[in-house]
Amino acid sequence: MAANRLTFKATLAQVSVPATSANLGPGFDCLGLALELRDRYAAQILDEPTFDVDVSGEGADELKKDKSHLVIRSMLRGFEHMGQKPRGIALRALNVTPHGRGLGSSSSAIVGGLALARSLVHGGEALLTDDEMIALATELEGHPDNVAAAVLGSATIAWMENGEGRAITIPVHEKIKALAFIPTTTLSTSKARKILPESIPHAAAAANAGKSALLVEALSHRPDLLYVATEDQIHQSYRASAMPKSMELVNRLRGAGVAAFISGAGPTVLVLHTGNETELGEMSALAGSAFTATALEISRKGYLSI
């Protein structure tokens, strides 16, 4: 934490943060992927003790518009880490990442808030590094997989060390793209986590460890291995009762040889592929009308200052 008094910038700070998918099948709470679907945030320091929050897009009618807003809370945590909090903040949020669908909307808000705080302080890059941002974001989110991808971009491996979130990037092969099947239904991460058992069979854990290691190679150099590398045995089947249509779609797609899995806590289904338009159409036909198929590029960058 900084010992000196902060000097806030009078200018408007703007950032964009990618959507993210966690787990990628076997990599429970450790693998993440940044997707080129970006929420945008703009903020300015106020001299008055006021928190002026405006939200448009996803969640505009549901999210609180005061200091309890997740972006504001994250900004305040970032300022606290750097040594001082401002009296007030004006925030404008344009949300495009669907909420409650397993695409990292809360991670986007957390990373966006921390990035805004850093941008609004003179010398903020030195006072709040990317590594420190991942640690703070993990503290706020509760697990590091999504926030790591939102900070670093590309694919990431995240872990906990001495109680803090850590992460490194994995280069993603240029041919790999994503196809998201997004349902209208939602599922909270907390509910999805409560469904999981306290323990799992040793054989399932060993299988997932092997597939997670293989997935790193598949993402980086061997897209032909994506199907076998995205097989999961430790979390998706336990959550099937909370999102039956999503699991039915995963099984249908995998039955057709497609690298499909539940995105994060769900209920979005994500496919990693190197296919053409015809193959995308065939995959979409398997989904039916219960899902909106959205083609997404892998985001090679995490949060960006605009």
Structure-block tokens of residue 92: 């404008």
DSSP code per residue over 120-147:
TBTTHHHHS-HHHHHHHHHHHHSSSHHH
Structure-block tokens of residue 208: 């997932």
Q: Domain locations in the chain?
A: 13-171, 177-296
State the pairing for strand pair 304-305/155-161. unpaired
Could you count the other beta carbons within 10 Å of the beta carbon of residue 299? 25
- Is 3.30.230.10 the CATH classification of the domain at 13-171? yes
Structure-block tokens of residue 180: 């998201």
Q: How far apart are CA 95 and CA 114, in angstroms?
A: 16
State the pairing for strand pair 177-183/155-161. unpaired
Please report which helix (H) or strand (E) contains residue 181, including its range: strand 177-183
DSSP letter at 64 equals -
Could you count the other beta carbons within 10 Å of the beta carbon of residue 88? 15
- pTM score, two decimals? 0.94
Whether the domain at 13-171 and the domain at 177-296 fall into the same CATH topology:
no
User: Which strands, in side-by-side order, build the sheet including 291-296?
Assistant: 259-262, 269-273, 177-183, 291-296
Tens place of pLDDT per residue across the chain (306 aa)? 444 578 899 899 999 999 999 999 999 999 999 999 999 999 999 999 999 999 999 999 999 899 999 999 999 999 999 998 999 999 999 999 999 999 999 999 999 999 999 999 999 999 999 999 999 999 999 999 999 999 999 999 999 999 999 999 999 999 999 999 999 999 888 888 888 888 999 999 999 999 999 999 999 999 999 999 999 999 999 999 999 999 999 999 999 999 999 999 999 999 999 988 898 899 999 998 889 999 999 999 999 998
- Which residue's entry shows tokens 């008055």? 48
Instruction: Quote the distance between the C-alpha of residue 11 and its chain's center.
Output: 28
Structure-block tokens of residue 210: 């092997």
Average pLDDT, the chain: 94
How far are the Cα atoms of 24, 247, 268 from residue 200, in angstroms, in the given order?
Answer: 19, 19, 24
Q: Which CATH class is domain 177-296?
A: alpha beta
What is the torsional sign of CA 151, 98, 265, 220? negative
